[in-house]
A = this chain, B = another copy of it.
Amino acid sequence: MKSTMMNYQLTIPAILQRAKEIHPEKQIVTKMNDESIHRYSYGEFYTRVRRLMDALQKAGIKPGDRVATFGMNHYRHLEVYFAAPSMGAVLHTLNVRLFPEQLVYIVNDAEDSIIFVDKSLSKTLSDLLSQFKKKPKFVIMDDLEAMEAAPLADAIDYEEFLKNGNDSSLPLPEVDENKASGMCYTSGTTGNPKGVVYSHRSVYLHSMSICMSDSLGVCEKETVLPVVPMFHANAWGIPFACVMTGATLVFPGKHLLGHALASLLEQEKVSIAAGVPTIWNVLYQHLKKNSYDLSKLHTMIVGGSAAPLSMIEGFKKDFGIQILHAWGMTELSPVGTVCRLRTTMKDWNESEKMHFLAKQGPAVAGVELRGIDDQGRDIPKDGKTPGELIVRGPWVTVEYYGNPSQESFTEDGWFKTGDVVTIDEHSYIQITDRKKDLIKTRGEWISSVEMESQVLKASGVLEAAVVAKPDEIRGEVPVVFVVPKEGESIDKKSVLGVLKENFANWQLPNLEDIQVIDVIPKTSVGKFDKKVLRTRF
């Protein structure tokens, strides 16, 4: 029997068109680099996107061509986000914090035809120009940084480029929902970075899912500030979800810390902010010492790494802000789980609730997940047994771009995340570690993440990172790097004392392997760079 439903395509132009039809009066706000505020409506945004689509076409960009961006979070970046896929091209966000050799590799691997670059970041690309094989065109997005743009072959200013495009009130082009709409490279902790290619369908479905009330709950009444960069797994899909629903969008530009961020949250009455734990840790310290009215800010979405329990408790107790844990990966568009307490947990005591809020939560609608052991058998849902997290769903990658290797996939097509998790009876997952970051001591696994969260309880500790070091007797031993809070010092013995409460003697680090350092090196997406730490012993 045949269904009589329309073969309607789920596409990014359909999301764009909805913004114009339903909520053209809602606002998109950007804090520029000179701290001025740029403000316009979704209606104006739409008009400019249509012009940009036409300008891209006139610049010779064809369906399937890669249109790259190299910029922070701002309104012009959002225009490229929609113009490129709406005219059939592929939006390719470049991570501005990559090492030069990775950047060159990625631009050449993706064969970018054109790159939209922030003026303040133009020097980075200018230095690498000779190494780009395809000789992309450049468009400079003026972020109002007090400087001249670096020399880039035939670069044109964004607003000049836009003038080449005509307005259009014609219906947007129809696109096949399975066509490529965007691509993003994983940061690549081993080997070369690997590309993931999204489709219109995957972006549309991911947007619907994160707008569901049990997921991130993006909706018209929220004012959403993504600190998470637009080059970091699509800023977790937030730009697409906001345009779909008419949520007010607030872009921080380069202002990601201290007063610059806190005052933007206050002035624009932001209700949902999203970023990695390190960002919120710095903000928390700032808020403790300075006063802001953040009464509208009810939710801080945390992803990228796990937020420590102390941070979750601190934001709740001191500022009434809920930390909403989410877990995702570039390979998942990226959202896989969101941690909200369930109504069946409402009578639990505060400490049980906090314990659960520190987990990553159950799969969002659309994603299926399992935990498997080394033999590929499902782990029990006991909240204790670790296993590798595997996932599938309409916004999960089935391979890497130009890479036939199936080593990251099970035989029946699930994606192997490389994350080690426990799954409890409520199907809440907790990431215990990256598979390669586990420490094997006397034949038993120790989770580096678990040890880090214990170390944070020691007096004066701001940040902690634990990595494995080969050891003749024990196989591997943990090395603990700690960063002291501003103006405080750390006593190594008290760190060891705290660890003794939760770990057996043979699991403990040697006293000399507790190292106090000024800063923990971070990867391009703000995670602890354990690869770098491992080089320090």
Contacts and interface: CB of A to CB of B under 8 A. Distances in A.
Contacts of A401: 4
A306 to B, nearest CB: 21
A162 interface: no
Most B CB atoms within 10 A — which of A1, A199, A208, A401?
A1
A239 to B, nearest CB: 15
A96 B468 CA distance: 68
Contacts of A368: 14, 17-18, 21
Contacts of A10: 205, 394
Interface centre among A5, A7, A64 (most CB of B within 10 A): A5
A343 B220 contact: yes
B245 A2 contact: no
A212 B8 contact: no
A181 interface: yes
Interface in A231-251: 244-246, 248
Interface in A176-207: 178-181, 195-199, 201-202, 205
Nearest to A199: B3
B394 A362 contact: no
Interface of A: 1-8, 10, 14, 17-18, 21-23, 25-26, 64, 66, 90, 178-181, 195-199, 201-202, 205, 208-209, 211-214, 217-221, 244-246, 248, 340, 342-344, 362-363, 365-366, 368, 392-401, 413, 415, 426-427
Given A90-B1, A213-B219, A393 B6 contact: yes
Contacts of A202: 3, 5
Nearest to A346: B221
Contacts of A6: 392-394, 396-398, 413, 415
A425 B210 CA distance: 28
A372 to B, nearest CB: 15
A8 B220 contact: no
